[in-house]
C-alpha cells in the first residue's frame, strides 16, 4: 500500500515537472511587454530572464529556467506586510487604516475610498503605505529588519535588500510621497512620513528569486508553517484575510480577469515576479520582467494561466486535477 502511494507520488511530481518545463519552453521566446523604467534601477533587468518554481506543502520543489536569478520583490511584499500588521495589531486596528475593496484602479493611484476615506485595500500603494506606517519601528532600520527576518523565515534562507534599487526608489518616489501626504492629511498615517516611506521602499527592494517566492507562497498555503524548515512563520488565524485580499485585489485593475482565468490568490510586482497560492497544496512563483501596461509580468500571467488550467488549480475548478496530483503525493 505504502509503496503504491510512493510510486503514485513520484509519477505525479514527474508529471508536474514535465508540465512546468513545457510551459517554460512554450513562452521562452515570447517577448511582449517592457521592463519597468519608472524606477531607473529596474530598467537594468534582463528582459530575457524567465523562471518558474513550484513548492508543495509536503516539501517538493519543481524549477525551470532562471529560477535562481534574483530580482526585487516589489509589490509582492504587500501581502506579507499586511500579514505582519494583522499579527501585531489585530483585525480591528489594521482595518481602521485600510479597506478590503478592489479599487479597479492602477496600483499607484492617488486616491482613497470616498466612502470610508481609507485606502481601498492593502495591495495598492496607498494601502501598503498605510500598512508600512503601522509596522515601522524606531529606529527605522529595526522595522525594516523585522520585515526582512520574517521574509527570510518564509523563504528558508538569508535575504537582503538591494541598496541600488532602494536608493532609486527613494529618489523617484514622489508619487508615493504624494499618496503618503494625502493620507497624513486625512489622519490615516502619523507624521513620520519619511520613516513610513523608508519602510515601504525597503520592503519593495528585498531581493528574492523564484524559489524564495514559491517557498513563501507554500508557507501561506501550509497555514503559516514553512514546509521545508518546519518553522511556524505566520499566524494561521490571519492567512485567510491575506489570501482573500490577494484573490480580489492582488493584480490591481487586472484582478477580475485574473480571478476568472487563473482563480488563485496571487500578487504581482513591477520587478517581474508573480506569486500564487494554491491553498493547502502549493506555492507558485514566476519571474519575467517584461510587464504589461498594468504593471504585471506578461509571461508571468501566461505561465500562471497555463499552470492553473493544466494542473486544474482554479479555486472553483470542478475536476480539481491539482488536488488529485497533490493528494496522490501525500
| Catalytic residue IDs | 75, 78, 200, 252, 270
Listed ranges 233-241, 263-271, 303-311, 319-327: which one lies at the site for ligand DON (CB under 6 A): 263-271
User: Residue 302 Cβ, how far from ligand DON at the closest point, in Å?
Assistant: 16
Residues 6+ apart with CB under 8 A from 259: 247, 248
User: Residue 79 Cβ, how far from ligand DON at the closest point, in Å?
Assistant: 12
Listed ranges 55-63, 208-216, 224-232, 265-273: which one lies at the site for ligand DON (CB under 6 A): 265-273
Listed ranges 54-62, 153-161, 224-232, 264-272: which one lies at the site for ligand DON (CB under 6 A): 264-272
Tell me the three-class secondary structure of the chain, residue by residue: CHHHHHHHHHHHHHHHHHHHHHHHHHHCCCCCCECCCCCHHHHHCCCCCCEEEEEECCCCEEEEECCCCCEECHHHHHHHHHHHHHHHHHHHHHHCCCCCCCCCCCCCCCCCECCCCECCCCCCHHHHHHHHHHHCCCCHHHHHHHHHHHHHHHHCCCCCECHHHHHHHHHHCHHHHHHHHHHHHCCCCCCCHHHHHHHHHHHHCEEECHHHHHHHHHHHHCCCECCCCCCECCCHHHHHHHHHHHHHHCCHHHHHHHHHHCCCCEEECCCCEEEEEECCCEEEEEECCCECCCCCEHHHHHHHHHHHHHHCCCCCCCCCHHHHHHHHHC
Nearer to ligand DON, 75 or 109 (CB): 75
Query: What contacts 24+ positions apart, CB below 8 Å, involve 89-94?
Result: 89/134, 91/238, 91/241, 93/134, 94/131, 94/134
Site for ligand DON in 267-306 (CB under 6 A): 268-270, 295
- Residue 187: alpha-carbon gap to chain centroid: 28
Nearer to ligand DON, 110 or 315 (CB): 110
Q: Which of 41, 66, 162, 169 binds ligand DON (CB under 6 A)?
A: 169
Nearer to ligand DON, 64 or 124 (CB): 124
String of contacts with ligand DON for each residue 189-228, x by CB under 6 A? ---------------x------------------------
Nearer to ligand DON, 79 or 295 (CB): 295
Q: Which of 56, 109, 121, 125 binds ligand DON (CB under 6 A)?
A: 125
Residue owning grid cell 497560492 = 277
In this structure, what C-alpha cell is assigned to residue 184? 497624513
Nearer to ligand DON, 66 or 169 (CB): 169
User: Residue 118 Cβ, how far from ligand DON at the closest point, in Å?
Assistant: 18
User: Residue 26 Cβ, how far from ligand DON at the closest point, in Å?
Assistant: 24
String of contacts with ligand DON for each residue 70-89, x by CB under 6 A? ----xx--------------
Site for ligand DON in 6-65 (CB under 6 A): none
Nearer to ligand DON, 224 or 295 (CB): 295
- The answer to whether 176 contacts ligand DON (rule: CB under 6 A) is yes
Q: How many residues bind ligand DON (CB under 6 A)?
A: 12
User: Residue 112 Cβ, how far from ligand DON at the closest point, in Å?
Assistant: 16
Binding site for ligand DON (CB under 6 A): 74-75, 107-108, 125, 169, 176, 204, 268-270, 295
Amino acid at each position: 500500500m505504502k509503496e503504491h502511494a510512493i510510486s503514485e507520488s513520484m509519477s505525479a511530481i514527474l508529471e508536474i515537472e514535465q508540465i512546468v518545463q513545457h510551459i517554460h519552453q512554450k513562452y521562452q521566446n515570447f517577448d511582449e511587454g517592457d521592463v519597468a523604467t519608472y524606477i531607473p534601477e529596474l530598467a537594468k533587468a534582463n528582459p530575457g530572464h524567465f523562471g518558474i518554481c513550484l513548492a508543495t506543502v509536503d516539501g517538493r520543489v519543481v524549477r525551470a529556467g532562471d529560477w535562481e536569478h534574483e530580482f526585487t520583490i516589489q509589490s509582492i511584499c504587500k501581502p506579507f506586510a499586511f500579514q505582519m500588521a494583522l499579527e501585531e495589531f489585530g483585525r480591528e486596528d489594521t482595518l481602521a487604516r485600510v479597506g478590503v475593496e478592489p479599487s479597479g484602479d492602477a496600483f499607484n493611484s492617488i486616491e482613497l475610498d470616498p466612502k470610508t476615506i481609507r485606502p481601498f485595500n492593502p495591495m495598492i500603494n496607498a494601502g501598503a503605505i498605510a500598512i508600512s506606517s503601522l509596522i515601522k519601528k524606531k529606529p527605522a532600520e529595526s522595522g525594516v529588519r523585522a520585515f526582512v527576518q520574517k521574509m527570510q523565515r518564509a523563504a528558508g534562507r538569508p535575504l537582503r535588500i538591494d541598496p541600488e534599487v532602494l536608493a532609486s526608489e527613494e529618489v523617484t518616489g514622489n508619487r508615493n510621497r504624494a499618496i503618503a501626504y494625502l493620507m497624513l492629511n486625512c489622519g490615516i498615517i502619523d507624521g513620520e512620513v519619511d520613516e513610513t516611506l523608508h519602510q515601504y521602499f525597503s520592503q519593495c527592494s528585498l531581493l528574492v528569486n523564484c524559489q524564495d517566492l514559491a517557498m513563501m507562497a507554500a508557507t501561506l498555503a501550509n497555514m503559516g508553517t514553512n514546509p521545508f524548515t518546519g518553522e511556524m512563520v505566520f499566524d494561521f488565524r490571519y492567512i485567510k484575510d491575506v489570501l482573500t485580499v490577494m484573490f480580489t485585489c492582488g493584480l490591481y485593475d487586472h484582478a477580475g480577469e485574473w480571478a476568472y482565468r487563473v482563480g488563485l490568490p496571487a500578487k504581482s510586482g513591477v520587478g517581474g515576479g508573480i506569486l500564487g497560492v494554491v491553498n493547502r497544496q502549493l506555492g507558485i512563483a514566476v519571474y519575467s520582467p517584461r510587464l504589461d501596461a498594468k504593471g504585471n509580468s506578461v509571461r508571468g500571467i501566461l505561465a500562471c494561466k497555463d499552470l492553473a488550467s493544466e494542473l486544474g488549480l482554479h479555486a472553483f475548478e470542478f475536476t480539481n486535477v491539482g488536488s488529485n496530483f497533490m493528494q496522490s503525493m501525500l
